[in-house]
Amino acid sequence: MSILKLLPQSFVSSLQKSSWVEYRKMGLYFADLYNNTEVNQEVYRRLPNDILVQRDRRLKIAIDLSVKKQLLPESEWSDIKKDLEFTEMIEKFTEQVQKENDLRRAFRE
């Protein structure tokens, strides 16, 4: 089970409204902030287990830091290159799932 279902929407919204690097100061990647939609649930289901575990760990750490009103030390901030790689991978999966959903809708019509 993904921790995404346990995240309060207010927490996600506050991270998205903060400056563009605030999420990195909490160890998150940009794609970790995506809203929980049916498409994203399917994307997370298709992710390899080790990547999903890493993502859940980042989210748990960010929630803990948010509750404590703290940030990670600069040496532990998320890496921009890894952030881009993860976000690109999630977006590719999202496009694929969206195309499959569009194809299913077209067959139903």
Per DSSP, the three-state class of 29 is coil
53 class by beta-carbon count within 10 Å (0-12 exposed, 13-18 middle, 19+ buried):
exposed
pTM of the model: 0.75
pLDDT score, position 4: 43
Task: Write down all domains in the chain, each with its CATH number in brackets.
Answer: 3-108 (1.10.1090.10)
Measure the CA–CA gap between 55 and 58, rounded to whole angstroms.
Answer: 5
Return the percentage of the chain with pLDDT > 90, whole number.
59
**Res 25 pLDDT > 50:** yes
- What number is the average pLDDT over the span 78-88? 88
Cβ count within 10 A of residue 63: 16
> Mind listing the pLDDT tens digit for each residue in 57-73?
999 999 999 999 999 99
Measure the CA–CA gap between 61 and 70, rounded to whole angstroms.
Answer: 11
Spatial contact of 32 and 55, defined as CB atoms under 8 Å apart: yes
pLDDT band at 3 (very low <50, low <70, confident <90, very high): very low
